[in-house]
Each structure stands twice: as structure tokens, then as C-alpha cells.
Structure 1
């Protein structure tokens, strides 16, 4: 919680990040650069990264990285806000890890940005009995707070993931829309050539739903394309729905010569496919909540399957079995590392905003749920300790767990995560998961 790194989507957290006190001194400390120059340096670095992404046509990747980094920072913001609200002492709130690019102190808290955008951390005083705390700060240490306050701060990060996912799903339903199965619509209109635009000439518009052609119901995009292809130069009568109104439209496909084909084929200059429909903002709240529950249930099943004995055996078998790795990659059933997740999200960004939002919601919910696993250094470990201490406490005699006894288990867990994450990265590089968006 005080140091939460970016969780590797698809298989669990990557473990604790670098120490909270690392990097160059904050502005105002001896030997530090002025805040203005540090801010200029940060602006130069950010500008250079953005310019490079645009120059090499990787803006989709940049958007994904920014989204993932923002996702983790919202997690940390949850810890930060609840810790401040409950009166705990928070000394640092940083975006990223590694060398400090910029920071500023406001009151007792130092805010800043570091060079590696792989997450971030909040440092709350006294997270365990291992930490030395100034006696003057002990009343405001995390470990000195009541059970409800510690529980609130510990779960706040994952709660932020739930709120973010709900907001994303609401935005998807309200502004982007979701695909309506069984519909065939005009998605895009593009002239075949200068002055040759059959669709526009007939009055077709993007968003029109094609209900029938030549008096026969249209049940698939492929069926509509086939009819148009087979009738070059022949008027076709379409029944379309636009803005809730049903209209009759006559379109004459242009005759287009296709290499390798003996006869010309009909084209009207449209891209067709299933339509997307938006919802009323108020109704979208209920729809978003329902979709969120489905994502949570699916993620829970995926985590249980992945970390079951059979799931782990199957995963590690792929490291030495190229055929098994290829099958899993083709089927898309293998957990992905951050490398694979960024690739999949970039492919989704290229496919459209709806696909990107769906992938980001999936990653977001996984990160939130994985962080609640009851093992240090995850948030769930702090929850488990708080619950255990509450159960062991007696009226007037609060019990405090000795975290040193948990250290061997925590180190073994971290070692397992390192091996698992490293294996997932290796598989994502050698056998990338197939593009689910075509």
C-alpha cells in the first residue's frame, strides 16, 4: 500500500517497488535543483516522449501507457485521501519510480514525479511494527489507528479501481455505445472515386440500419455485401432505419473491375457491420453496474483458474513446450504480463475506443482484485493483519501482530511472483497472444 507498483495484468502484482526514500533530494534540500528547473526538466522529458511516440506512430501505445499509469495512481490516491482524512501522517506521494524528476513539499507531504512510469507509491508513517517512528508521530502512525480506519485505508486502493471501472463502463454506454448483435448498419461512407459516391447519392448516412434489401430481410453484413456485389449497375431498394424513422432508399451499385474476376462487381462505397447503440445517462448507471459485476465475476474465475494447481502446471509447462505455448497463445487463454497487456491494449486502441475501454476495465478490475490477495506486501496483506489483530484484541488491550514472523512467507510469495512474472514476460515475447481484434 505504501509502495504499490504497477500490477502485471493477467497474473498478479510484480512485487514491491524501489524504496520510498530513493532519488535525488527534494527541492529545498541541500544540493537540490530549484523547483523551476526541475519542472522544466520534467516538461522536456514528457515533451520528448510524446514527440517520439508521434514520430514513430506509437500514439496508441502512449495512450495505453498513460492510462495504465493513471490507473495505478488513482489506486494510490485512494490510500492517500483516506489516510489524510483519518489523520494519518503521509510523507510522500510520488508518480513513478527511479530518479526524481520533480517534487515539491506542501506541509508534511512531498509530492513528485520520478523517471520510470511503472506505477507510484504513497508513504504512510508506521505501516508495521518494523518501522522506526518518531515518538511525536506515533499517534498518527497507521499501526496506531483503530481497526475501521486501518481497514478503510487498506481497501481504498482497490475501491478506486471499482469506481474507475464503473466510470469507464458508464462512459462506454453513454458516449461510445455497445455493439447490438443482429444489426447491420452503415458504419462509414467513402467515395469510390472522385464523383463516384453511390451511397451518398442515394441518401444513405452513417448510422443507418439496413433492415431489408430487394424485399428480403438483411440478417448479416455478409449477406448485404453479397447482394450489392451481385448487382453492379442495377438499382437496389433498401429499407433503412435512421434516427428512429423507417425509410425506403434506392441505391445503384457502381460496376467495379476486380483483378482476377471475369465480371465487374457492385460497390456502393460503405463499410457495414453491427451497429453500436448508446444509452440514456441515467439508465447507463444501472447497465454499468451490471456490467461491472459480470467483469468482477469473470475476473474471479480467471484468477482461480490461473492459480489453481492445474492452471499453474499448465502455465509453467509452456516454458519448455513450444507447441503448448503456441496453442495457449492462439486460444488467448494464457495470463499476460505487462508486456502482453500493453500489446493487447494497443491493439484495442487501434480497433476503437469501445475495445480499448473494455480492455482497460478488464485490467483495472484485475489489478484491484489481485491487490486484495491476503499476503504482504499487497493491500490484502494489510487487511488480513488488521482483521487478525482485531480478533486477537480484548477490551482495553489492543493486540499488535509481529510482522517479523511473516517475513519468510512474504519473501517466498515475492519470489514466486518474480518467477511467475518473469515467465509470463518470456512467453509474451516468444509466443505473443493472438490479436483478439483481428
Structure 2
């Protein structure tokens, strides 16, 4: 908003307003302080060995900035007057004016904004700029500018999927078996521990049967209580041979009641899971599957958001806030909104899993943010799209219609309140009951 000029006073320099040199000095000090804080954050992340997690968080913040950049580019290409483009919110750290547009950085790097002249009928614009306002632009240009942020997210999401499908590859379950763990049993040395079965080993053969599935491996062990079972294992790049003698689950149940349900079947004391195979698509095949998969996930996001705000969804979320799920892997605990703290948790989980998980997380965030912003309520982008459509329907030749957005302010405040409540409750849940690792 315009700043009031201080009255000229030639009698006392103490009463004069700040000079241009003062403003530049102040901006410079803010920028230096800001850079010091950034360096401190990087150093702290390095101390915690979390630079990769910090990089993912920065990538997420950058995606939000690209959302606003989408609005900025389409507004400029549409001939609209843009006065500001800032990264972040809060106190101004640094800015520069180029070509009549102020570019800058603000203190809290959790997004950004672009200021376009005449976004609503109540915005005051100088008469000479009226024809370059958003409200005077054609219907297609208004829809394009309003939806550009979400379209940017969708383009990024498809590009990320393309990289996953054609570059990184997708892990799929194979037909083989992997020894995922060798849990301890109280007061008993399990057959697996006696045989020194290594965690992570792939079972190449059991009793001469090559590449056994989980089911086959389990059945052979179950009917072999007291009978030696010969295993061929791949441990790293080596092939090793082990002989293990399953014991009756009844015997182990004396020390661990969890084995009672196996009713005397043979047990060696391991957890198993299927082998995984990484499949990559062709360059063009990956593009096709990225587009089709994006459509499926985007529609799931739409239905998921609608379900969250249904009476049942609201009741479920309220119950989760009051009584956080004791099972962090339950669907109720997993399908909730995430605060910035939750996003950091997810970024850390993804980094620990691998590049594919990181790209998947970035893909899902882009889809969600893009879809959520298109819901038809102000101040979301979808609210501006709906207003543009309504104005187009009400307009007549040579008599454009402009909706009175002031009548929508109660609904806008209600939407902002809902977003605030979701943000606060999500922050609470992420502090007292962090989400489990979804990439396991």
C-alpha cells in the first residue's frame, strides 16, 4: 500500500523522514541478519546429519514459490499490471524495483505472493492503469491467471512422475523371499539365531527349490518341525549355505505367547517379505504413464479432501485430535493434514528410504496443493475461477458484470478460519503424535 510522505522540515533534521541511503542501509542490515540465520540453520542441519532432509524441505518451499511464479508469468503475458513479487511473508528483508515491479524477500520463507492490480471490484487502481487490471482482462485470461498456480503444481507433479517411471524406476514385489528380520525370543535362542541367518539375505533356494515365494517358504518351514531345512542364500554378492532346524511353535509359546496361534507348526524365528524388482519405463512410455497416474491420484485427492470435510470426516478428524490414534499406522492416523513439522518428518522418512521416496513425496505434495487451491472458495485460487465464470455468465455484450466480492467476505473469513483450525490442530498432532513412516 502507498506510503505517506513525511512533511518537509528544514529546521530540525531529527524530524525528517528516512533518506534513501538510510533505507538501503536498513535493508542491508536485515539482509545480513537474514543470511546469518540461514547459515545457522544449515550448520544446525549439518550437525544433525540432516542436510538431505533440509534440501527436501527447501525443495517443497521452492515449489510453493513456483506456484506464485505461475501467477506472475501468466499475468505478465496477459498484459496485467503486476506491482510486487515477494518470496515469503512477514517483515520485509530485502527488495529491489525493476521495471516498475518490486521483487523481494520476506522473513518467513513459507510461500510467497504476487500483487496483481484490480483482482476484485473493490481494489483501488489509478485510472491510467485500469485497462491493465485483472478485472478488465478477458474471461480466458482471468481463468488462466487464477488457475496458473495449480497448473504449475500439476506440471511439476507430472514431470516428477516421469522421472520416477523412466529414470529412477518403480519397485515391485517379486516372487522370491527375503529374510527381513531375526527377532529375539525371550530366554530362547531361535533356530534362525543358532544358524546365524543374516538379515537382508535373499533366499535363492529352500531344500533345492529355487526362488521360493513367501507362501512356499512358509509352508516348507511349517511342516518341517524337527527336520533340517537347507537354505541357499544371497548375502550381498556372496552365495552362502545354511541349515536350520525348525522347532515347534508350541515350544516357543512357552517363552512368547505370540506363537500360540501357530498351533505347533514349525518355526525358525524370522520375518520374511517378498523380493523387490525395480522396473523402469521407456522415455515416452514413462510420459504416458505419468499423465494417466497423475489423473488417478488427482481424483483421489479430490475425493479425499471432500471426504475430510464431510460430516463423517469432520467427526473422525475431531476424534483424532481429541484421542490421537494409538496405532500410528492406522488409516485414520495416516490420512490427516500435515503441518510444517509433519512435512519435515515426512521429508526425513523419504530421505532415509531413497530417491524414489523423495520424488514420490514431492509429487504427492504438488498434487494435493494444486487440487486444494482449486476448490471454489475465496481466498483460494478456485474462488477467483468461480467468480470469473459467474461474471462471464452475467455479462452482456458491451456491458461487463463485476461481482461484489464484499458479499462473499463472511464466507471468505469462514474458509480462513477453517484453514487456521486445520493448521493449528495438525501442528498439535504432529507434536504429540507424529505420523508413522509411510514409505516402509
Normalised TM-score (structure 1): 0.74
Structure 1 residues 130 and 306: alpha-carbon distance in aligned structure 2, compared to 1, 3 A threshold: same
Q: Does 1:94 align with 2:82?
A: no
Conserved 8 A contact 2:177-2:214? no
Matches of 1:250 and 1:365 in 2, distance apart?
Answer: 43
Separation (CA, whole Å) in 2 of partners of 1:106 and 1:392: 38
Residue 41 of structure 1: how far off its partner (Å): 5.1
Query: 1: CA distance between counterparts of 2:434 and 2:424?
Result: 14
User: Quick check: 305-314 or 215-224, which moved more?
Assistant: 215-224
Find the aligned partners of 1:330 and 1:289 in 2 and give their Cα distance. 30
C-alpha contact (below 8 Å) 2:175/2:274 kept by paired residues? no
**Alpha-carbon shift at residue 82 of structure 1 (Å):** 0.2
Question: CA offset at residue 404 of structure 1?
Answer: 1.0
Deviations 1:91-142, CA, capped at 9 Å, x for gaps: 1111111222322221111112222111111111111122211111111111
Q: Which residue of 1 aligns with 2:211?
A: 217
2:162 aligned residue (154, 157, 170): 170
Would the aligned equivalents of 1:92 and 1:109 in 2 still touch at CA under 8 Å? Answer: yes
Structure-1 residue corresponding to 2:326: 326
| Match status 1:341 vs 2:340 | no
Give the 4+ runs in structure 1 shifted more than 4 A.
27-30, 34-43, 183-186, 209-213, 220-224, 234-238, 253-256
Q: Is the 8 A contact 2:157 2:366 kept in 1?
A: yes
Does the aligned pair in 2 maintain the 1:173–1:279 contact within 8 Å?
yes
- SS in structure 2 of the partner of residue 275 of structure 1: strand
Superposition pairs for residues 307-322 of structure 1, below 5 Å? 307-320=309-322, 322=323
**Kindly tell me: are residues 335 and 285 of structure 1, through their superposed partners in 2, closer, same or farther at Cα, counting changes over 3 Å?**
same
Q: Deviations over 1:367-424 (max 9, x none)?
A: 1011011111110111111111110001110001111111111112211221232222
Retained in 2: the 8 A contact 1:97–1:117? yes
Q: 1:52 to 1:107 in 2, by over 3 A?
A: same
1:17-416 correspondence to structure 2 within 5 Å? 31-33=23-25, 42-182=34-174, 184=176, 214-220=208-214, 223=217, 236=232, 251-253=239-241, 273-320=275-322, 322=323, 325-327=325-327, 330-331=330-331, 332-338=333-339, 339-416=341-418
Q: Aligned in 2, Cα 1:137/1:55: closer, same or farther, shift over 3 Å?
A: same
CA contact (8 A) 2:337 2:422 kept: no
Helix, strand or coil: the match of 2:93?
strand
1:222/1:20 CA distance change after superposition, 3 Å: farther
8 Å CA contact 1:20, 1:121 repeated in 2: no
Asked whether the 8 Å contact 2:61–2:109 carries over to 1, the reply is: yes
Using a 3 Å threshold, how does the CA distance of structure 1 residues 346 and 236 change in structure 2: closer, same or farther?
A: closer
Shift of 1:310: 0.7
Q: Counterpart of 1:362 in 2: which secondary structure? A: helix
- Partner of 2:325, secondary structure, is helix
Provide the aligned length of Structure 1 versus Structure 2.
368
Q: Judging changes above 3 Å, is the alpha-carbon distance between structure 1 residues 145 and 36 closer, same or farther for their aligned structure 2 residues?
A: same
**CA distances 1:133-153 after superposition (whole Å, capped 9, x unpaired):** 111111111111111111110
CA distance 1:105–1:41, shift in 2 (3 Å): farther
Paired residues of 2:205 and 2:231 also in contact (CA < 8 A): no
SS of alignment partner, residue 375 of structure 1: coil
Q: Deviations 1:18-73 (Å, cap 9, x if unpaired)?
A: x999xxx9x96862338777665554443332122111222243123212111111
Q: 1:316 and 1:20 mapped to 2: Cα distance?
A: 43
Judged with a 3 Å threshold, the aligned counterparts in structure 2 of structure 1 residues 140 and 28 are, in CA distance, closer, same or farther, namely farther
| Aligned counterparts of 1:235 and 1:412: Cα–Cα separation in 2 | 64
Inter-CA distance 431–45: structure 2 relative to 1 (3 Å threshold): closer
TM-score, structure 2 normalization: 0.74
Q: Report the structure number with the largest CA radius of gyration.
A: 2
Separation in structure 2 between the aligned mates of residue 408 and residue 235 of structure 1, nearest angstrom? 70
Higher RCO (C-alpha 8 Å, min separation 6): 1
Q: Which runs of 5+ in 1 are unaligned?
A: 1-18, 187-208, 239-248, 257-264, 266-270
Inter-CA distance 185–104: structure 2 relative to 1 (3 Å threshold): farther
CA RMSD of aligned residues (A): 3.7
Distance 1:423 1:99 in 2: 26
Give, in angstroms, the shift of residue 428 of structure 1: 2.4
CA distance in 2, matches of 1:393, 1:41: 51
Q: Secondary structure at the match of 1:374?
A: coil
